[in-house]
């Protein structure tokens, strides 16, 4: 039986290396046939917003194609595809209240709307859980 890990993310896109590390953990877990739950809370609900767009870099003089600016929605979508390929469960839940506050409801298909009860259910049914808090120094 596959193991399951739950992560709670709180940082918004492009604000913290924490998100990169957390997504690397998700990727590594999926590749080891570990089921992954992610509960996106506070600013992290913007990680899956469909309206994200790559951009050119005028400072570098690069076009959109040359810059290959990554978007977090594409990271998450690729993790969902990887999970499908590895035949493991990948459940990404955005906190609905956080979504409404921020107007970030237009999200990719890999994410669904939920709430704290989903997080409780995720933690209760996981082998391990990791909360990645927003830095508040």
Partner 1 sequence: MNRYCFIASRCAVSGTGTQDLYRRAAVLARSGAAVSIYLVQNGVMASRPQVSNALDEAHAQGVRVFADDFSLRERGITASEMRPFVEPLAVDQWVRHALSNGAAKLIWH
Q: Residues interacting with partner 1, by CB under 8 A?
A: 3, 5, 17-18, 21, 24-25, 27-29, 31-32, 34, 127-133, 135, 137
- Nearest residue (CB) to partner 1, 76 versus 108: 76
Element (H, E) at 123: helix 116-124
Question: Beta partners for 9?
Answer: 40, 132
- Nearest residue (CB) to partner 1, 20 versus 63: 20
Cα torsion at 17, 101, 112, 68 (round to 10°)?
A: -40
- Nearest residue (CB) to partner 1, 44 versus 99: 44
Compute the least distance from the CB of residue 7 to partner 1, in Å. Answer: 9
Distance CA 28, CA 23 (A): 9
């Amino acid at each position: 039986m596959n193991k399951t890990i739950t992560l709670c993310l709180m940082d918004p896109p492009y604000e913290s290396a924490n998100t990169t590390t957390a997504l690397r953990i998700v990727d590594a877990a999926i590749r080891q046939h570990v089921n992954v739950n992610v509960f996106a809370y506070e600013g992290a609900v913007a990680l899956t917003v469909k309206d994200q767009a790559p951009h050119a870099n005028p400072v570098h003089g690069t076009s959109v194609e040359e810059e290959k600016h990554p978007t977090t929605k594409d990271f998450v979508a690729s993790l969902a595809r990887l999970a499908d390929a590895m035949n493991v469960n990948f459940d990404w839940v955005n906190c609905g209240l956080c979504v409404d506050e921020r107007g970030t409801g237009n999200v990719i298909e890999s994410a669904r709307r939920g709430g704290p009860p989903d997080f409780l259910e995720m933690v209760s049914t996981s082998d391990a859980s990791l909360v990645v808090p927003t830095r508040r120094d």
